[in-house]
Amino acid sequence: MSELFEVRDCKLGKGLFARKSIEAGETVLPFEGLVITTSQALEKGEKQSDPLQIGLNRYVDLQDPGRCANHSCDPNAGVNRDLQLVALRNIQPGEEICYDYSTTMGDGLWEISCHCGSTNCRNRIRDFRFLSREIQTHYLSLGVVQPYLAVEDLYKSSVPSLSHVRHR
């Protein structure tokens, strides 16, 4: 287990909770697991939400404790460099560590109702492309959008007439 966090029960099952203060920019957790394809992720059935998307047809089949990191529409952490969960702001002891799953999603195959409870809750967890331009820009400026999505987003924003087209 980590000196920074512990896995505890929460309203969504299990979650990561800070054991001590975590400074903004600090790496909370390197995600680990085997790299798998989209079809392998879908074969996981009920567990198909465990893998973290890192490319158009690439996922990391998250292992504990990484698979316990929950979603929030108002996250205190984010994923950078594909596999690093980093603090977006100072996180206090006892606070649940969450990231916005939408910053890693772009396959159009998975969405779910959101129950994060934040005042900014969007009610659905969906692909990055469905976030408002304001939220996309915010996450891009923080460097917590998976690189394959950031490149696609930058391309689409530079070619407005193609912004509705999903590139694969």
pLDDT tens-digit series, residues 56-84:
899 999 999 999 999 999 999 999 988 99
Count: domains in the chain: 1
Q: Which residues make beta-bridge pairs with 113?
A: 124
On whether residue 168 sits in a domain, the answer given is no
What pLDDT is stored for residue 8 in this prediction? Answer: 96
Range of the domain at 69: 5-162
Predicted pLDDT at 158? 39
The dihedral through the CA atoms of 19, 23, 27, 31 has a sign that is: positive
pLDDT of res. 152: 58
Task: At 25, list the tokens.
Answer: 């920019």
Q: What is the pLDDT of residue 46?
A: 73
Q: According to the model, what pLDDT value does residue 2 have? A: 84
pTM of the model: 0.87
Cα distance between residue 143 and residue 81, in whole Å:
9
Cα distances from 54 to residues 104, 138, 152, 153, in angstroms, run 7, 20, 13, 15
Domain contains 14: yes
Residue type, position 54, single letter:
I
The domain spanning residue 137 has which CATH number?
A: 2.170.270.10
Is 167 within the bounds of a domain? Answer: no
139 is a domain residue: yes
Euclidean distance between CA atoms 150 and 136, whole angstroms: 9
Give the ranges where the chain is alpha helix by DSSP (H). Answer: 38-42, 133-142, 147-158
Segments of the chain with pLDDT less than 50? 154-155, 157-168
pLDDT at 24: 97
